[in-house]
């Protein structure tokens, strides 16, 4: 069977973040309309190995992403996305690190475009690891940024991200802030992409109006956001079933009665029926295979 391989650089040659955002937006709407079959992902070895399949009925195409996760390694995510189609025996094997970076950034871009104030231009970025650069890039596509403050426990990582962002966003003021609560003072958008086990900031530090994206906590025991935020905010999620099964902070907030599971708004639904905006909005994502399909579909369409 003829399978072509698309490596990390090859993915970025074919797909820009703006296109990934548009594709992921369409895929979330399709997901909400029942056009995908997507079982809960398989997590092995304490969520160090993930296997994520989905099938898109209208196109007769599917992806299966298999990856290993190790935060003591660079890159933390390594693996492959298998792209297959019913109508074509040719398939693709695509670098999973690149697909994941684009699709995770893209979901945050979609949610930020929907939920952040139209004039928002100041970002606080918690986490300066592998995902952070793409998280900032995606927000900048939908809300051109004037200011970015980077927060990380590791000052060296924060400085490294700063240097990359200065090249990506030459007319944006980019700085490192060691105190997370201070980084929030004038933030209009907050991104969280950390491996934290505890809330990254206190509720008292949040400005009166802010949109928060949180992609970090993907298993029980992990947390980036304080409980009180879930009590007060409109909470949009990639997939209610997935976050209720996997996201530590959501599992705990529901178990303690602070957040009703029925208040979780699927992103695909919110795109079609925008929720009433509360001053605080949250997008919580654990990442679903539908996003991988959206970016892999672009790669397949553009591979000749
Ligand atoms: N939702 C999704 O679709 C999705 C996709 C990919 C990765 N992730 C998750 O996002 C998180 C970040 O991924 P990554 O690949 O960038 O990891 P990484 O290990 O490269 O970076 C994580 C960074 O978070 C920092 N950090 C940890 N605790 C912190 C704290 N309390 N305050 C400030 N900084 C802190 C670390 O110092 C590190 O620099 C991981 O949990 C990963 O599993 C989610």
Q: How much is the pLDDT for 276? A: 84
Nearest protein Cα to ligand 1, atom 43: 216
Q: Which DSSP string do the residues of the chain spell out, in sequence order?
A: --EEEE-HHHHHHH--HHHHHHHHHHHHHHHHTT-EE-PPPEEETTTTEEEEEEEETTTTEEEEEEEEE-TTSSSSEEEEEEEEETTEEEEEEEEHHHHHHHHHHHHHHHHHHHHS-TT--EEEEE--STTHHHHHHHHHHHS--SEEEEE-SSHHHHHHHHHHHHHH-TTSEEEE-S-HHHHTTT-SEEEE----SS-SS-GGGS-SSEEEEE----STT---S-HHHHHHSEEEES-HHHHHHH-HHHHHHHHTTSS-GGGEEEHHHHHHSPPPPPSEEEEE----HHHHHHHHHHHHHH--
Distance of alpha carbon 54 from alpha carbon 195, whole angstroms: 26
Distance of alpha carbon 33 from alpha carbon 93, whole angstroms: 28
Q: How confident is the model at residue 2 (pLDDT cuts 50, 70, 90)?
A: confident
Ligand 1 center to residue 195 CA distance, Å?
4
Residue where the block lists tokens 């290993």: 68
Task: Give the global pTM.
Answer: 0.98
Question: What average pLDDT does the segment 96-125 reach?
Answer: 98
Nearest protein Cα to ligand 1, atom 19: 71
pLDDT tens-digit profile of 51-69? 999 999 999 999 999 999 9
When comparing pLDDT for 277 and 43, which is higher?
Answer: 43
pLDDT of 277 over the 70 cut: yes
Ligand 1 center to residue 193 CA distance, Å?
4
Ligand 1 center to residue 215 CA distance, Å?
8
Residue of 160, 216, 250, 283 best suited for mutating to test ligand 1, as the one with most atoms within 8 Å of CB: 216
Question: What average pLDDT does the segment 183-189 reach?
Answer: 97
pLDDT tens-digit profile of 118-137? 999 999 999 999 999 999 99
Q: How much is the pLDDT for 161? A: 98
pLDDT tens-digit profile of 86-101? 999 999 999 999 999 9
Ligand 1 binding pocket (C-beta < 6 A) is 71, 76, 100, 104, 126-132, 151-154, 157, 193-196, 200, 215-216, 218, 285-287
Q: How much is the pLDDT for 37? A: 98
What's the chain's average pLDDT? 97
Contact 99, 295 (CB under 8 A): yes
Contact 300, 92 (CB under 8 A): yes
Q: How much is the pLDDT for 192? A: 98
Percent of the chain's residues with pLDDT above 90: 98
pLDDT tens-digit profile of 131-171? 999 999 999 999 999 999 999 999 999 999 999 999 999 99
Q: How confident is the model at residue 1 (pLDDT cuts 50, 70, 90)?
A: low
Name 289's Cβ contacts closer than 8 Å, sequence gap at least 6: 38, 41, 52, 53, 54, 63, 65
Total length of the chain:
304
Distance of alpha carbon 284 from alpha carbon 213, whole angstroms: 6
Strand partners, 66: 51, 80
Q: How much is the pLDDT for 187? A: 98
pLDDT tens-digit profile of 232-258? 999 999 999 999 999 999 999 999 999
User: Which numbered atom of ligand 1 lies nearest the CA of 104?
Assistant: 3
Q: Structure tokens of 283?
A: 């997008």
Ligand 1 center to residue 76 CA distance, Å?
9
Nearest protein Cα to ligand 1, atom 28: 196
Q: Mind listing the domains of the chain with CATH numbers?
A: 3-100+290-302 (3.30.1780.10), 105-287 (3.40.50.720)
Q: How much is the pLDDT for 150? A: 98
pLDDT of 304 over the 80 cut: no
Radius of gyration of the chain (CA): 18
């Amino acid at each position: 069977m003829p399978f072509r391989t698309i490596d990390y650089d090859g993915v970025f040659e074919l797909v820009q973040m703006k296109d990934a955002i548009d594709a992921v937006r369409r895929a979330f709407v399709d997901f909400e309309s029942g056009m995908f079959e997507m079982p809960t992902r398989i997590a092995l070895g304490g969520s160090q190995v993930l296997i994520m399949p989905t099938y898109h009925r209208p196109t007769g195409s599917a992806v299966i992403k298999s990856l290993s996760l190790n935060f003591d390694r660079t890159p933390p995510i390594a693996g492959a996305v298998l792209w297959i189609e019913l109508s074509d025996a040719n398939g693709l094997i695509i670098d999973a690190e690149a697909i994941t970076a684009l699709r995770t950034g893209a979901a945050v871009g979609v949610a930020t475009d929907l939920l952040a104030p139209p004039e928002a231009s100041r970002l606080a970025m918690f986490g300066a690891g592998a995902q952070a650069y793409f998280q900032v890039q995606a927000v900048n596509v939908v809300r051109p940024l004037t200011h970015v403050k980077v927060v990380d426990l590791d000052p060296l990582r924060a400085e490294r991200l700063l240097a990359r962002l200065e090249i990506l966003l030459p007319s944006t003021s980019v700085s490192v802030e060691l105190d997370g609560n201070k980084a929030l003072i004038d933030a209009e958008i907050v991104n969280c992409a950390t491996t934290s086990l505890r809330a990254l900031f206190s509720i008292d530090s949040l400005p009166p109006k802010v949109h928060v994206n949180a992609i970090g906590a993907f298993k029980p025991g992990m947390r980036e956001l304080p409980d009180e935020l879930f009590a007060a905010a409109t909470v949009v999620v990639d997939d209610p079933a997935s976050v209720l099964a996997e996201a530590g902070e959501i599992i705990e907030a529901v178990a303690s009665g602070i957040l009703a599971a029925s208040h979780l708004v699927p992103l695909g639904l919110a795109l079609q029926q925008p929720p009433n905006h509360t001053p605080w909005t949250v997008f919580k994502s654990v990442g679903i295979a539908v996003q991988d399909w959206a970016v892999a579909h672009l790669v397949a369409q553009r591979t000749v």
